[in-house]
Structures are given as structure tokens and as C-alpha cells.
Chains A and B, each alone.
Chain A
Amino acid sequence: EAGVTQFPSHSVIEKGQTVTLRCDPISGHDNLYWYRRVMGKEIKFLLHFVKESKQDESGMPNNRFLAERTGGTYSTLKVQPAELEDSGVYFCASSVDRGYSPLHFGNGTRLTVT
């Protein structure tokens, strides 16, 4: 089966610009997660979708970040306007259920804000 795919793999934008990251989860995985790792720091949870609904968005840093999952398939994470501290690697993950099944991660999008 195809894994979690993320696009783009890299993005370099200027402060104040907008960037949209996309994640395609594994087919049939209702649970979709976004995580972020800022350089040298821990991997931090951003939010969790169950199908198209936001189950937990407690990790979203501020209202410049907007995540959507229309139709319960792919998800987008928009940063508008981007700030320097938004630079990092953004991971998407999916899992088949809400229990303790492992999260399957994409390769991440490396975002650089200059």
C-alpha cells in the first residue's frame, strides 16, 4: 500500500508570505495528525483529525496556522503569514484507529522562512 505522502518536500518562503502544505494519508486511515519539529527541538503535536473533524487542535501555535481535511481524505496546513519561527520540518501521520496502532509518518516538509 502507498504510504503517507507529503508535498512539497521542501519550501523556502519569505517572511509574510503564505505556504500550504499537503498530506495524503494512507487510504482507509481515518486519523490524521500534523506534527512539527523546529531545529534542535522536540517533535511537537499540532493537531489531529478524525475523518474531516478536528479532534484535537491544542498544539496549533496560533491563528496563523489553519488546517483542513475536506472530505476526510487529504489534509492541508496553511501558514499565513509565515514568520521566521515557523521554520522547521512538518510531519503528517495517519493511523487506522484511535487505539494504540502506530502512526505512519510521511517524509515531512522542510519549511524555511527567510
Chain B
Amino acid sequence: AQKITQTQPGMFVQEKEAVTLDCTYDTSDPSYGLFWYKQPSSGEMIFLIYQGSYDQQNATEGRYSLNFQKARKSANLVISASQLGDSAMYFCAMRWDREYGNKLVFGAGTILRVKS
């Protein structure tokens, strides 16, 4: 069964430093999409970045990049130059089975706290 694992319940990072949030997944489907979402204390879910299983290059979106290691089934989120506003819950999620446009499956999340 498909599964997403985020092993870090909480992380601290100093402002302006980079931080890596871990995500591993398990699927036998060759085609899938990996997503990261941010949930600040205000509660909304904000889409950050997407990586397709067939993408040759790691995805980047501004200060966010995805360290995609397909053989290891990991899709870690790297946030460069952390800002106080990055403090939030971060969820890794996966969709698979393009034909059926399947649902997102979420990991348990990682709480990130940025220290000034």
C-alpha cells in the first residue's frame, strides 16, 4: 500500500539558515506525483512544490527545492535562507495512478520553528 513517512515531528532552524525536511514514500506504482504543503498557524494549506516521478531534475520554486532520490524513495524539502514566516507545519503528500486521478495521501507532518 502507498504510504508517506515524515520522521521528524518537529524541527528548529536559525533564521537565514537552510533546513531539510525529510519525506520517504512507498509505492509500487511507477507513475506518481509528490507534493509539499505548508500549513501556518492560521490553518490554510498552501501548495509549495511538486515533483513528478519521471521528472529528471529536482523541482525548485524560489527558496524551496525538492531533493528527489527516486531509488531511495525520498523527496526531501529544502528551504534555503529560512525566514520567521516559514514557521509552520509542513506536509509531504503523494498522488499516484494518473488514470484515476487519485487522491492525495499525506504524511504526518513536520512542525518547523524558525528562531531569530
Contact = CB atoms under 8 A, between A and B. Distances in A.
Given A42-B107, A42-B108, A97 B45 contact: no
A108 B108 contact: no
A106 to B, nearest CB: 8
Contacts of B109: 42-43
Contacts of A87: none
Contact of B44 (A59, A100, A108): A108
A104 B37 CA distance: 10
- Which bucket holds chain A's interface residue count? 20 to 34
Main secondary structure of the interface of A (DSSP, over half): strand
B91 interface: yes
A37 B32 CA distance: 23
Interface centre among B32, B100, B101, B108 (most CB of A within 10 A): B101
Interface of B: 32-33, 35, 37, 42-47, 50, 52, 91, 95, 98-109
Given A33-B104, A103-B47, A104-B47, 17 more contacts: A42-B107, A42-B109, A45-B103, A45-B104, A45-B105, A48-B103, A50-B101, A59-B103, A99-B101, A100-B52, A100-B95, A102-B35, A102-B50, A103-B104, A105-B46, A107-B43, A110-B43
Interface of A: 31, 33, 35, 42-45, 48, 50, 55-56, 59, 89, 91, 93, 95, 97-100, 102-108, 110
7 contacts: A42-B109, A45-B104, A55-B101, A59-B103, A98-B100, A99-B101, A100-B95
